[in-house]
Structure 1
Amino acid sequence: MVHALGLSDRLVGTAFLDAQVVEPYAAAQQGKPYTADLPQREALLAANPDFVLAGYNNVFTTTGDESISTRADLAALGVQSWINAPLCPSADGLSDEAIDPAQVSMETVYADLRSLGRVLGAQQRSEELVAELQAKVATVQERVAGKERPQVAILLNDDDGSYRVASGIDFGTRVLEMAGAENAFGDLTERRHVAVSKEELIARDPDVILTSTCCDASYTVADGEPDVQQIRADPALAGSTAVREGRVYPFLFADRAAGIRAPYAAERVADLVHPE
């Protein structure tokens, strides 16, 4: 978001990215200080930041390997902070279980960009950025309007050979909808990731399967190919429509997050599910 707002020169450090910065802003990330792990509180303060921007709220706690301190603690030291609205809790230190992801839409993302633009003195650029993203979404939606909406499963490959799916309340569902598709597991709404049996996958028989490859700052879509091959090689899924017809595609976890990547992700998904 900082790169997209044209404020790359203000970045004193970045950390814990799930994938490469999306292409229009990838060059701006080059040369910026980066650490694969979240910095501890002392290391963070050593960079002397005025402002800390986080994509999720678990970093603002006093315990755990993925935490730097509470927002109140940082504020007492003169360091302001921001959590993107889709994962901003009602109280300091709460996990994202306190958030209702079903209420998150692209309008949430646009409001975030406008608010952050005001805070960082980039209001005009934030309005331009919102307009650019809205136009991209509109172009995708116009292209797929009236077409049959295929059933798509976003699959997380677990180390033990089992699978989880992105549920109906996951923002990946919004990406699929923008792209003219439906989440084959959209009726599951208890949590964002739901463990499902292979029998359930076969029974639902999605037209298309997308991976949910994560997490490294070097990752591009191509890094999802091992996950694709694992799914294709699973004998239990050999008879499924997506596997049989060669419609299992690499997809990034980062591309199903509520943020500026989503319109680009919707554009790519539309290319996959509506190739004609």
Structure 2
Amino acid sequence: MLAIAHPAFPAAAASMPRRVVSMNLCTDQMAMLVAEPGQLHSVSFLAADPVSSVMAPQAGRYAVNHGQAEEIFLMQPDLVLAGTYTAGATVDLLRRLGIRVEQFAPENSFDDIRASLRRMGDVLGQPQRAEQLIADLDGRLAAVKVGDHAGMTAAIYYANNYTSGSGTLIDDVMTKAGLVNIATKFGFAGMERLPLELLVLSDPDLLVTADRNYSAPALAQQGFEHPAFRAQAALSGAVDIASRYTICGAPFTVEAVRLLSQGADARKASPK
């Protein structure tokens, strides 16, 4: 007998995944945004970490997984979401067990965020929801009041003296806030170490940190205690952007643009 799809129930609905497991922080959050109620069964343990996850409060609604093939197999998913850098052995084993796995690359720009949202919408059978989220993203970006920051430079300084250059989400965030990333000016791409001496010599108009006020003692944070860093922070002015806004790309990443633009406005109002 020939099956004819009812217009109200497109053929795609028949193959829509009903028990989805995500094992990556970024796919966790994007799936929580896109999936319909009851469609997403489990997210990774990182989704509940408020330092890393914007959606930590919502993560409590789902079962937790630790990215182990055995535990995920026992959840009997019809779809597993993973990152391109998720443990390869786990992904390979799940696929050998006949489980569909879709991998998502990290978002390194707002265009990447839009593309990932659309793909997540297609994978979950929720294209309309994805388009709504893209419209929300664009609306939030348009609503950010970006002042005249022409020529203003900013330096990103993370734990262990790392910075982010071209091809990173935070670099695109800085561009949207009207700022020039000194790491990009130096020709840095991706994440690279920025020697403290070079940071001081570059004398940025604004210093951008992430989770600078880490609660527990950590050797990685020692650079923030160095007298030269403290002096530069006092001179340039510093704005701390919680890393959870830029570890993964989503509509909430616009908050990083807003905070940076706000910091640049404050810096401009109080020149060196």
Aligned pair partner of 2:64 in 30, 34, 38: 34
- For residue 122 of structure 1, what is the amino acid of its counterpart? Q
Kindly state the Cα deviation for residue 129 of structure 1 after the two structures are TM-superposed. Answer: 0.7
Question: Could you tell me whether the CA contact under 8 Å between 1:137 and 1:263 is conserved in 2?
Answer: yes
SS of the counterpart of 1:185?
Answer: helix
Kindly state the Cα deviation for residue 125 of structure 1 after the two structures are TM-superposed. Answer: 1.0
Q: Pick which of 74-83 and 192-201 moved more.
A: 74-83
> Partners in 2 of 1:60 and 1:211 — Cα distance?
29
Q: Which residue in 1 is equivalent to 2:84?
A: 57
Aligned pair partner of 1:80 in 93, 100, 106: 100
> Partners in 1 of 2:72 and 2:178 — Cα distance?
42
Aligned pair partner of 2:139 in 135, 142, 151: 135
Q: Structure 1 residues 177, 191: closer, same or farther in 2, change over 3 A?
A: closer
Aligned pair partner of 1:48 in 52, 71, 76: 76
Q: Which residue in 1 is equivalent to 2:158?
A: 156
> Partners in 2 of 1:177 and 1:225 — Cα distance?
32
Q: Which has the larger radius of gyration?
A: 2
Q: Which residue in 2 is equivalent to 1:249?
A: 239
> Partners in 1 of 2:246 and 2:61 — Cα distance?
26
Q: How does 1:1-276 map to 2 (within 5 A)?
A: 1-7=30-36, 9-15=38-44, 16-17=46-47, 19=51, 21-22=53-54, 25-34=55-64, 38-54=66-82, 56-62=83-89, 68-70=90-92, 73-86=93-106, 104-140=108-144, 143-144=145-146, 146-158=148-160, 163-189=161-187, 191-213=189-211, 223=214, 233-240=225-232, 242-244=233-235, 247-257=237-247, 259-260=249-250, 261-275=252-266
**For 1:128-167, what per-residue CA distance to the aligned partner results, in whole angstroms no more than 9, with x for missing partners?**
1100101111222xx2154335322221212xxxx12112
- Give runs of ≥4 in structure 1 deviating > 6 Å: 224-227
Q: Structure 1 residues 268, 6: closer, same or farther in 2, change over 3 A?
A: farther
- For residue 31 of structure 1, what is the amino acid of its counterpart? R
Q: Structure 1 residues 250, 124: closer, same or farther in 2, change over 3 A?
A: same
Q: Structure 1 residues 154, 74: closer, same or farther in 2, change over 3 A?
A: same
Alignment: residue pair count: 233
Identity, in percent, stands at 23
**For 1:233-257, what per-residue CA distance to the aligned partner results, in whole angstroms no more than 9, with x for missing partners?**
31122432x3335x22332333224
> Partners in 1 of 2:178 and 2:208 — Cα distance?
15
SS of the counterpart of 1:4?
Answer: helix
- For residue 234 of structure 2, what is the amino acid of its counterpart? V
TM-score if structure 1 supplies the norm length?
0.72
> Partners in 2 of 1:58 and 1:232 — Cα distance?
29
Q: Which residue in 1 is equivalent to 2:17?
A: none
TM-score if structure 2 supplies the norm length?
0.73
- For residue 204 of structure 2, what is the amino acid of its counterpart? P
> Partners in 2 of 1:199 and 1:190 — Cα distance?
16
Kindly state the Cα deviation for residue 173 of structure 1 after the two structures are TM-superposed. Answer: 0.5
Q: Which residue in 2 is equivalent to 1:98?
A: none
> Partners in 1 of 2:223 and 2:205 — Cα distance?
14
> Partners in 1 of 2:118 and 2:216 — Cα distance?
36
Q: Which runs of 5+ in 2 are unaligned?
A: 1-29
SS of the counterpart of 1:13?
Answer: strand
